[in-house]
């Protein structure tokens, strides 16, 4: 069997971010609850990696863990978290503060709660510049803020003394992107469902803005989204998560044309077709298991339409390499259906 932590992160010479075997545990009523159990990620310069899965799959927790945003009693462990050649686990908190917002930044799905309502936009922006733009003098801050805002399509003249509530959600999302991209050293942008709270017109504008930033700055991104159409439009590679674990990794074309994991297949099956054929839309049965649930085998077995048999209930599948596509999938069907020992389909 292939070791999942090494398989998911085959060494690539041009990686800007590599995460291997990340595990994050929360505390609930004094008991440890694993939110992320097995997570590995590889991102190249200028690459957009989509991170998909149902709510509760651990996507946002994984991003916050990478960026060092979680505090005790939450516990984060990893074999490695490498950003441009440095292991972030070895950095002090002071050094990590420079990394956050400097070389790696995050934008959130709720722009309203991402800003302090008591501070003006200008004052919050100036604080970021004071931390991550040592090349600027204080008298140059406002001019730089106006330049950054212009880059995201906002005329900031006369608005720096305005408070967050005086802007629309779409404007705040653009401002948050400008703040996240303020550092000249930014290499990786983590985007946690950045268009969820926006209408479709503003969503299209924000996605176009992210594409432009990628091209202009060779910026790498990890994009969390529930919208598979956004994945198809934006991403180069896709990581599928289920119940805190990576279950499939593939380039975006192969993911849609030849999904390997039953969970991915069933997610794609649930996408409405057009024109509608009049048939009932497919709905995946069941729900994601609770974080504290103890499962010996595959975590998706109870919901799987392609279940092999008892092997799925007793043996957790590693991330097997998919020879045909070069991807990875955590399913016993991937290497050879005969691995089931002749147990036949049991759906």
Write out pLDDT tens, residues 11-27: 445 899 999 999 999 99
Q: Report the pLDDT value the prediction gives residue 109, as an integer from 0 to 100.
A: 85
Residue 291: pLDDT band (50, 70, 90) is: confident
Residue with tokens 């991807």: 327
User: Residue 275, preceding bond cis, omega within 30 degrees?
Assistant: yes
Q: Report the pLDDT value the prediction gives residue 258, as an integer from 0 to 100.
A: 94
* Tokens (6 digits) for 28: 């609930």
If you average pLDDT over residues 268-288, what whole number do you get? 81
Q: Higher confidence at residue 31 or residue 158?
A: 158
Q: Report the pLDDT value the prediction gives residue 4, as an integer from 0 to 100.
A: 42
Contacts (Cβ under 8 Å, ≥6 apart) of 55: 226, 288
Q: At what angle do helices 169-180 and 141-151 cross, to 10 degrees?
A: 120
**Beta strand pairing call for 220-224 and 188-192:** parallel
Q: Report the pLDDT value the prediction gives residue 340, as an integer from 0 to 100.
A: 42
Residue 1: pLDDT band (50, 70, 90) is: very low
Q: Report the pLDDT value the prediction gives residue 132, as an integer from 0 to 100.
A: 94
pLDDT at 313 exceeding the cut of 90: yes
* Tokens (6 digits) for 281: 């839309």
Q: Report the pLDDT value the prediction gives residue 250, as an integer from 0 to 100.
A: 97
Tell me the C-alpha distance between 15 and 29, whole Å. Answer: 39
Kind plus residue range of the DSSP H or E element containing 270: none
pLDDT at 207 exceeding the cut of 80: yes
Q: Report the pLDDT value the prediction gives residue 279, as an integer from 0 to 100.
A: 76
- Whether 184 and 136 have beta carbons less than 8 Å apart is answered as no
Residue 154: pLDDT band (50, 70, 90) is: very high
pTM of the model: 0.89
Residue 138: pLDDT band (50, 70, 90) is: very high
If you average pLDDT over residues 171-175, what whole number do you get? 93
Q: Report the pLDDT value the prediction gives residue 212, as an integer from 0 to 100.
A: 93
pLDDT at 323 exceeding the cut of 60: yes
Residue 141: closest CA among 123, 164, 162: 123
Residue with tokens 């008892």: 310
C-alpha neighbours within 13 Å on the C-beta side of residue 179: 24
What one-character-per-residue DSSP string does 103-127 give?
TEEEE-S-SGGGS-TTS-HHHHHHH
| Percent of the chain at pLDDT exceeding 90 | 73
What average pLDDT does the structure give for the chain? 89
- Whether 47 and 237 have beta carbons less than 8 Å apart is answered as yes
Residue 340: closest CA among 291, 300, 306: 306
Burial call 213-239: b when 16+ CB within 10 Å, e when fewer:
bbeeeebbbbbbbeebebbeebbbbbb
Sign of CA dihedral 105, 110, 113, 117: positive
Residue 295: closest CA among 242, 239, 241: 242
Q: Report the pLDDT value the prediction gives residue 343, as an integer from 0 to 100.
A: 42
pLDDT at 345 exceeding the cut of 80: no
Tell me the C-alpha distance between 332 and 52, whole Å. Answer: 21
Tell me the C-alpha distance between 331 and 318, whole Å. Answer: 7
Q: What is the pLDDT of residues 227-258, one digit of tens each?
A: 899 999 999 999 999 999 999 999 999 999 99
pLDDT at 120 exceeding the cut of 50: yes
């Amino acid at each position: 069997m292939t070791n999942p932590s090494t398989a998911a992160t085959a060494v690539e010479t041009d990686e800007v971010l590599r995460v291997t075997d990340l595990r994050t545990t929360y505390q609930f009523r004094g008991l440890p609850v694993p939110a992320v159990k097995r997570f590995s990620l590889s991102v190249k310069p200028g690459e957009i990696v989509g991170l998909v899965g149902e709510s509760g799959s651990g996507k946002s927790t994984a991003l916050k863990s990478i960026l060092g945003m979680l505090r005790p009693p939450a516990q984060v462990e990893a074999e490695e978290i490498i950003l441009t050649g440095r292991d972030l686990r070895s950095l002090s908190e002071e050094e990590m503060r420079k990394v956050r917002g400097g070389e790696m930044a995050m934008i959130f799905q709720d722009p309203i709660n991402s800003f302090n309502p008591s501070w003006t936009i200008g004052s919050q922006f100036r604080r970021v510049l004071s931390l991550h733009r040592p090349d600027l003098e204080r008298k140059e801050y406002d001019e730089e803020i106006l330049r950054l805002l212009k880059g995201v399509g906002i005329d900031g003249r006369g608005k720096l003394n305005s408070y967050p509530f005086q802007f629309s959600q779409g404007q705040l999302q653009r401002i948050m992107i400008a703040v996240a991209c303020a550092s000249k050293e930014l290499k990786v942008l983590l985007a946690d469902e950045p268009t969820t709270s926006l209408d479709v017109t503003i969503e299209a504008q924000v996605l176009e803005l992210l594409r432009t930033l990628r091209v202009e700055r060779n910026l790498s991104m990890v994009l969390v989204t529930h919208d598979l159409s956004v994945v198809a439009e934006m991403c180069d590679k896709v990581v599928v998560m289920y119940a805190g674990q990576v279950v499939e990794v593939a380039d975006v074309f192969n993911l849609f044309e030849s999904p390997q994991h039953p969970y991915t297949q069933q997610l794609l099956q649930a996408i409405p077709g057009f024109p509608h054929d009049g048939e009932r839309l497919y709905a995946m049965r069941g729900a994601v298991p609770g974080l504290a649930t103890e499962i010996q085998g595959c975590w998706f077995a109870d919901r799987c339409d392609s279940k092999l048999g008892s092997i799925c209930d007793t043996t957790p599948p590693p991330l097997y390499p998919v020879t045909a596509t070069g991807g990875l999938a955590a399913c016993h069907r991937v290497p050879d259906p005969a691995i089931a020992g002749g147990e036949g389909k049991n759906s």
